[in-house]
Structure 1
Amino acid sequence: MAHNRYREAQPSGENTIVDAEIAQLTAAGVEVLPFIRSSDEIPSMSKPAKALLPISPIWAPKAQHDLDRLLVEHRPDVLHLHNPYPLLSPWVVRTAHRRGVPVVQTVHNYRQVCSSGLYFRDGVICQDCRGRALGVPAVVHRCYRGSRAQSALMATTLAVHRPTWRSVDRFIALTTAVADHLRDYGIPDERIVVKPNAIPDPGTPAAPGDGFLYMARLTPEKGLDLLLKAWRRHPDGALGPLRIAGDGELRPLAEAAAAERADITFLGPLDRPGVRAALAESAVVLATSTWHDVLPTVIIEALASGRPVLGTALGGIPYLVGADTPREPAGTGPAEVASAPAGSSGPAMPSGVERGEAGWVVAPEPAALAAALPVARAGAAALAPAARARYERTFHPDVVTKRLIDIYADVAAVPTS
């Protein structure tokens, strides 16, 4: 299991998922050899090591040496790669193949194409680098860490490693939207498997609470501003309480909204008991991202707790709530998702609102979200059992871990028990 951990000062769902996956596989009887580097190591590196950092996304020589030694000593069946940047480099794929070890990669973002990995720039969806041999727009707009030089390095890395990525034996797409992204990149269907992440089972859900919970990083792409614009279209108290949890650059926006209206409470960042309590107190969880959010873990947490979700029809959100419909791989913008077909079950939905198995999705526009909020509040109790059922069938560790082991067995050509 190869992964470059993101800095601990910047909480990462990807780090959490890798740790959980290792634990789940180990509990299932799989021997896992972690090959982990952390960006927190960078400040303490020696001067010679730091001098090599600019080339490490393209080729990290120490990582290749260490990985090669591990492969020779342990002869693993599969290398499972998550994030390779900056200390591992996609070159680990070539190192594994040189030793005859097949490679599986979980795709957590869009960094095969996009230097930032988000398809999001200056507050809007951006796909300017799609289809280009070199992502020049990323350099012009300083998309990677706000630096033209670092953006040039990342754009070069993506160009150099296009053949590397296309040699991966199996891609794990976390949702159908990520599978579309990989097809658009040129990966054939037979090398793509849709397998979401899992979270531990929190147990029997509490009875539904009241109101809405928004729990996310407080950054522009997570859609707090969109939510507040929609919320303000209703009188204070008309929708029940709105609880906002999280931290980030938009914290002042959340604090100001809570001071402005009696029906908004800002909870700040929450620990695990705090998350469970906030979920128990609420009836609906909100996921109002304005980018192609790959797999918001908060949605899986909501379903596990028997809470339906109201989200935007972008990225993996429709898949998570069981409302994904066939669409063009090129991506969805507000105009495209606004015309999504209405759900076929339950009462007629307002224009721009689609009901799924475990929630609702809407166009990422204030009017559409405002129309959906009372629909979600009225339908929350009826949809709560379906939300829990979707978790048990699709996102429970027992289900997801078996699926992952089957993927390993397929690429390694070894029988499963």
Structure 2
Amino acid sequence: MRILLIATLFKPFFEGGAEISAHYFATWLVENGHEVSVLATAPTPADETWGTVEDGYRIYRVSIPRAYTPLEASRAPVWKKPIWHAQDLLDPRNEAVVGRVLDAVKPDVVNIHILQGIGYNALKALGKRNLPVVYTLHDLGLACVKMAMFIDGKECAGQCTTCALSSKVKTGYLRSIERLAFISPSTANFDKLRQFQPIDDYPCHRVLNANRYPLPEQPRVESDVPRLLYVGRLHVSKGVEVVLEALDSLSERYRFTMDILGAGPDEARWRETYGDRPWLRFHGHVTLEQVAEVMNQSDLLLVPSIWHENSPGVVIQALGLGLPVMGSNKGGIPELVSDGVNGLLVAPGDVAAWRDAIAGVLDAPERLTPLRAEAAAATFEFDRDYLGRKALAVLESVAR
């Protein structure tokens, strides 16, 4: 089958889990005999490519006219953002650029991963060509211009006027596609989006991302001191400060270590506040290979998110290595972490609850042994071939 994947950012211009998942799925499709092309944005005109073969697929990196590039979004001046989002919804050049790629590739089916930054009105180009489309929902982009429904340190209670108007326009674009289905790695993401988009009018499938996480090369070494771990973006939405505050109050009574892998806008502030703690180590940005090594030498992964996570890849990577997870009882995390089975669930944003939950583990570290065994026994649930076949079946059903 000839398949076109659309992902605003793509290897080597990664920024988050969605781009990584799109890359892994593209390579899986190639490995299984499909003709794959990828449409992504080029950070600069010098990065543009037109059908260049990389890792077995053809990559079309195009420059989309914008007030700034997707990679510059976090640093862009506030006054430019309304212009950027208006371009993303309405600029006819979006549709024209995507149309050129569609006419060059002539796909049997299109799999959208990230459209924001390429332009939502590009959906009209798909509809005009009567192409079957599978939209993989990695975020809340169809409901929120920030893609997360999280602002000023808290979740949005509902849509603001800007997001409501944007959603209405996006709904019209979706309606232009006759053959459309959605994939989400979590039911929670569907539940959130159906409040703002008519996704139930189309087939919806829960399928975890068919990712390939590296395995550790070094053997695991046990430790008498419990080793706690956080992996991810250092942003207020991730709830890291909840854990740091809880651990700070426990450090006088217990021995433990805490490793933080990742970078982000709140890193400097947390380093300044907690960086001198002897039990804490900030590592900054690291590779997936390094994550695997640290996970293998850890005893418990902490995922304290206070926003509506979809399906955190870090949880899947950890459980795939048999590492138990203590996570927020929110969003898609409870779909991966079963309380008392392969991990523990805690109320999001509640410092006292996290302090008590961690103390329970530090008081009796042997509690982690059955959790580790259960996580290790269920790694088949994250098998890449199994998940790749499930996603491919959705593409094939829409393309018939």
Q: Where on the TM-score scale, by shorter chain, does this alignment land: which range?
A: 0.7 to 0.9
CA distance in 2, matches of 1:103, 1:402: 17
Tell me if structure 2 keeps the 8 A contact 1:78–1:102. Answer: yes
2:96 is the alignment partner of 1:65: yes
**Separation of aligned partners in 2, 1:49 and 1:190:** 31
Deviation at 1:252, TM superposition (A): 3.0
Query: How do residues 15-414 of structure 1 correspond to structure 2 at under 5 angstroms?
Result: 15-38=19-42, 40-41=43-44, 49=65, 55-87=86-118, 89-129=119-159, 135-136=160-161, 138=162, 156-165=165-174, 167=177, 169-185=180-196, 186-188=198-200, 191-203=203-215, 206=220, 210-236=226-252, 238=254, 240-256=256-272, 258-321=274-337, 323=338, 355=339, 357-364=341-348, 365-376=350-361, 378=365, 379-393=367-381, 395-413=382-400
For 1:69 and 1:10, locate their aligned partners in 2 and report how far apart those are by CA, in whole Å: 24
Mapped contact 1:97–1:103 kept (Cα < 8 A):
no
Which structure: greater strand fraction?
Answer: 2
Q: What SS does the corresponding residue of 1:56 show, helix, strand or coil? A: helix
- Once the two structures are overlaid, the 10-residue window that deviates more, 257-266 or 1-10, is 1-10
For residue 195 of structure 1, what is the amino acid of its counterpart?
Answer: V
Partners of 2:15 and 2:64 in 1: CA distance:
29
- Please tell me whether the aligned partners of residues 301 and 324 of structure 2 are also in contact (alpha carbons under 8 angstroms): yes
| Residue ranges of structure 2 left out of the alignment (5+ in a row) | 49-61, 68-82
Query: 1:193: Cα distance to partner?
Result: 0.6
Helix, strand or coil: the match of 2:301? Answer: strand
For the 8 Å contact 1:199–1:300, the answer to whether it is kept is no
State the 1:397 CA deviation.
0.9
Query: Structure 1 221/240 Cα, relative in aligned 2: closer, same or farther at 3 Å?
Result: same
Shift of 1:70: 4.0
Identity %: 25
TM-score normalised according to structure 1 size: 0.76
The superposition leaves residues 75-133 of structure 1 with CA deviations (integer Å, 9 ceiling, x where unpaired) of 3221111111223x22232222222211111111112222211121111111331xxxx
C-alpha distance in structure 1 between counterparts of 2:305 and 2:85, whole Å: 32
User: 2 CA distance for matches of 1:162 and 1:290?
Assistant: 28
Change (3 A) 1:70 1:127: same
Tell me the residue number matched to 1:14: 18
Q: Which residue in 2 is equivalent to 1:151?
A: none
CA distance in 2, matches of 1:251, 1:27: 38
Residue matched to 1:330? none
Determine if contact 1:309/1:358 at 8 Å carries over to the other structure: yes
Tell me which of 9, 20, 25 is aligned to 1:5.
9
SS in 2 for 1:184: coil
Amino acid at match of 1:109: D
Superimposed CA distance per residue, residues 164-194 of structure 1 (whole angstroms, 9 cap, x where no aligned partner): 2355711111211012123323321752111
Give the whole-Å Cα distance in 1 for the aligned partners of 2:11 and 2:151.
Answer: 22
Aligned length: 357
2:373 aligned partner, one-letter code: P
**Aligned residue type for 2:167:** L
